[in-house]
Amino acid sequence: MANNIVTLHRVFNTNPEKIYRAFTDAIAMASWIPPYGYLCIVHTMDVKIGGNYHMSFINFSTGNGHSFTGTYMELKPNEFIKYMDEFEDPNLPGEMTTSVWLKKVSCGTELKIIQEGIPSIIPTEMCYMGWQDSLDKLKKLVEPDIPDE
């Protein structure tokens, strides 16, 4: 499993605060984290170091899904998030660690993500493709600048 790593890099036309909020707000996470064709239910989310979360992804076409739990390991508001998660399915063993860096740049925010420990049964290229969907949805959530109503 040591080689099951996905690395992602994007620049978003928004501020780090908005992206950090998208990673730490349950309603926001449910809207952008599942790849296209999946729904997400955030059952619990306690964003603090040592805090836990519990989520489920559901395949919209089949109704099948999988659940996972996790723990926040490090949080530096608007700069860094590190969390560990594991699937509840015993066929998807191991713990994945995801590190997220946010850096303010001239045109917005640079985002870097490294996900390590992906279960060997999941092809890393499929995980990478899933993240591409998620980051596309994240862009559509955080880049619009909608004035207060």
Q: Minimal CA–CA distance to 42: which of 84, 8, 70, 76?
A: 70
Q: Minimal CA–CA distance to 46: which of 19, 27, 18, 26?
A: 26
Helix (H, G, I), strand (E, B) or coil at 145: coil
pLDDT at 125: 93
For 74-109, b where at least 16 C-beta lie within 10 A, e where not — what string? ebeebeebbbebbbeeeebeeebbbbbbbeeeeebb
Quote the pTM value. Answer: 0.93
The alpha carbons of the chain give a radius of gyration, in whole angstroms, of 15
Q: Minimal CA–CA distance to 27: which of 69, 55, 63, 66?
A: 55
Helix (H, G, I), strand (E, B) or coil at 132: helix
Q: Minimal CA–CA distance to 32: which of 48, 43, 47, 21?
A: 21
What domains lie within the chain, and their CATH numbers? 5-142 (3.30.530.20)
pLDDT at 80: 98
In this structure, are strands 96-105 and 108-116 parallel, antiparallel, or unpaired? Answer: antiparallel
The two three-digit tokens of residue 110, written as one number: 């640079």
Q: What is the mean pLDDT of each run of 10 residues along the chain (149 residues)?
A: 83 98 98 97 98 97 95 98 93 90 98 94 92 98 90
